[in-house]
Each structure stands twice: as C-alpha cells, then as structure tokens.
Amino acid sequence: MRLLNILVICTLVLAASAVYKIKFDSTLQAARVAKLNGELRRERDVIAALRAEWAQLDTPARIAQLAERFLKLQPVRASQFDDLGHLPPRPPKVPAAEDAIGVMIDAPATTGSVPAPAPQIR
C-alpha cells in the first residue's frame, strides 16, 4: 500500500510538472503572438505613412512645378515635325536562316533626324 501511495504521488508530481510546462509554453507563445501583432501594427502604420507620402509626391501639380523649375522645357514647334516621306527605309526582311543582325549591320547607315529648315529670305 505504501508503494502504491508513493507511485501515485510521483505520478501526480509528474502530471503537475507537465501541466506547468504546457502553461509556461502557452504563456510564452501568447507573448510572442502579442509581440508579432505589435510589429504587424507598426509595419501597417509605416506602410500607410509611405502610401500617404507617395500620394503627396505623385500629385500632378507637384510634378508640373518640378518640371517647370528643373527641366527648362520649351513648347513644341511645328518645324520639329516632318512628313512620313523622310523616314529612313525599313530594314530588309531576312529569312530565319540568315543572320538578321549581320544584315542590319551591313545595311546603309540612315538616321531618323529631321534636317534643319532652310533659312527664309524676305
């Protein structure tokens, strides 16, 4: 009988230690989850702040002001455009067996630049 009591007491001590370990592990996991939720909330706040900053930086009015200040753009003149007849010829069509890049290199060098308009004499 005494041996049975000792075994029951040992079993109860082991069961209590197992329950305590499970409770301690669950407390640690709950603290970890709370920490991750806090980090997630902070990251969402940072993302929201960055989206607001992006929206402010991406406004067309701000971009127009920056373009006026830094790019020194000029209005488009009609003399900048030319008719389609002055375009360079298309590269020759090459069968798939030939070297397409080699044929383009051997083609005469033409550019798509528009010649300067002739001065008008009055």
The Cα 39–Cα 6 span in angstroms is 49
Q: For the chain, what are the domain ranges?
A: 41-70
pLDDT tens for each residue of the chain, 122 residues long: 899 999 999 999 999 999 999 999 999 999 999 999 999 999 999 999 999 999 999 999 999 999 889 988 888 888 888 888 888 888 777 666 667 677 667 666 556 566 666 667 75
State the sign of the Cα–Cα–Cα–Cα dihedral 22, 28, 34, 37: negative
Q: Give residue for tokens 């370990």.
A: 21
Structure tokens at 21: 């370990």
